[in-house]
Amino acid sequence: HPQGEKNNLWQLLSGTDDKKDQSYFLYTLTQLQLKHLLFPVGEMTKPEVRKLAKRLKLPVAEKPDSQGICFVGEVKIFDFLRTRLPEKPGDLIDTRGRVVGQHRGLWFYTIGQREGLGLSNGPWYVLGRNWRANQLIIGHKNEQRLIMAKSCITSKPHWINKPVKLPAVLLVRHRYRHPAFAAAIKKSGDGLKINFREPQRAITPGQSAVLYKKNKTGLVVLGGAVIDKVEKTKFSW
C-alpha cells in the first residue's frame, strides 16, 4: 500500500497487487498513523516479492500462502467461532416458507454463503436471517435475486483525509477483494446513503463499505463506514 503526501495531508493508496491488496481493512487509519507507516512491498506483486525473497535467500520465499484466518491459523471459520459463540439451533426455511432443515446458530452464517448448510438437492445459498424467529432463509441459485441490493445506509463515516464533499459519485467495495463499483453517495443523518449504479449481491449489515477514487497510479482510499441497513431490489426478510 504505497502512501503519499498531498497538500500536507497523507493519502492511502491501494496496493499494486489486486489479489493481495489489504486497503479494504485500513480505511479507519488516521493522518497521525499514516505519517508513521511504511508499506515497503505495496508497489510489488506477490510473485515479485517471492522472487526477491528467493534472491535474498529468505526462508519464507517458498512458503505457501495461508488460507486460514489471519493471526488464528489453519482453522475453519465455523470451528473458530464455535469456540467463542454458543450454538442456538433453529429452522432452515426455503423461499416458500417450508422448514427444510436445522441451522446451528444464525451468527455462523453470512448472506450469500453456500457451504456448510448440510442439505441435499443443492447447492443452497443463504438469502436472509430472521433474528426474531431464529430462522435462516435459504434458496437455490436461481433465487439469488432475493439478495440483490440497490442501496444501503451506513453509520457515521471515517475519512482518511478531509471529508469528501457530498453528494458525489465514488467507487465502493463492500467486502475484501470484491471489485470496486460505482455508486452515488449522499448524506443520510450522521451516516451515508449509497445508491449502487448496478444492483449488488450479498450486501450485508455489519460489513464495511469502503470508498475509493481513481488517480493516475490506481485507487485512493477515501474512507468508509459500517453498513447498517440494506435496501433490496425487490424482496426483503
Residue 78 phi/psi, 5-degree rounding, is: -60, -45
74: helix, strand or coil:
coil
Overall average pLDDT of the 80-104 stretch: 94
pLDDT at 235: 47
Provide the 8-state DSSP code for 19. T
Distance CA 121, CA 101 (A): 12
d(CA 69, CA 46): 19
Over range 214-228, report the average pLDDT. 94
- Fill in the amino acid letter for 179: P
Residue 237 has pLDDT above 70, yes or no: no
Strand partners for 73: 69
DSSP element (H, E) containing 1: none
Location of C-alpha cell 477483494? 177
Answer whether 184's CB lies under 8 Å from 195's CB.
yes
Q: What is the distance between the alpha carbons of residues 138 and 114, in angstroms, rounded to a whole number?
A: 9
Question: Is the per-residue pLDDT at 124 higher than 50?
Answer: yes
Please list, in sequence order, all residues whose beta carbon lies within 8 angstroms of the beta carbon of residue 160, skipping any fewer than 6 positions away: 10, 11, 12, 27, 29, 30, 31, 34, 221, 222, 223
d(CA 54, CA 190): 50
Residue 224 · residue 207 · CB < 8 Å = no
pLDDT tens digits for range 186-205: 999 999 999 999 999 999 99
Q: Taking all residues of the chain, what is their mean pLDDT, rounded to a whole number?
A: 91
Percent of the chain with pLDDT over 90: 74
Domains of the chain: 88-139 (2.30.30.280), 146-232 (2.40.30.10)
In this structure, what DSSP letter does residue 78 have? H
8 against 38, higher pLDDT: 38
The DSSP secondary structure of 25-49, one letter per residue, reads: GGTT--HHHHHT---TTTTS-HHHH
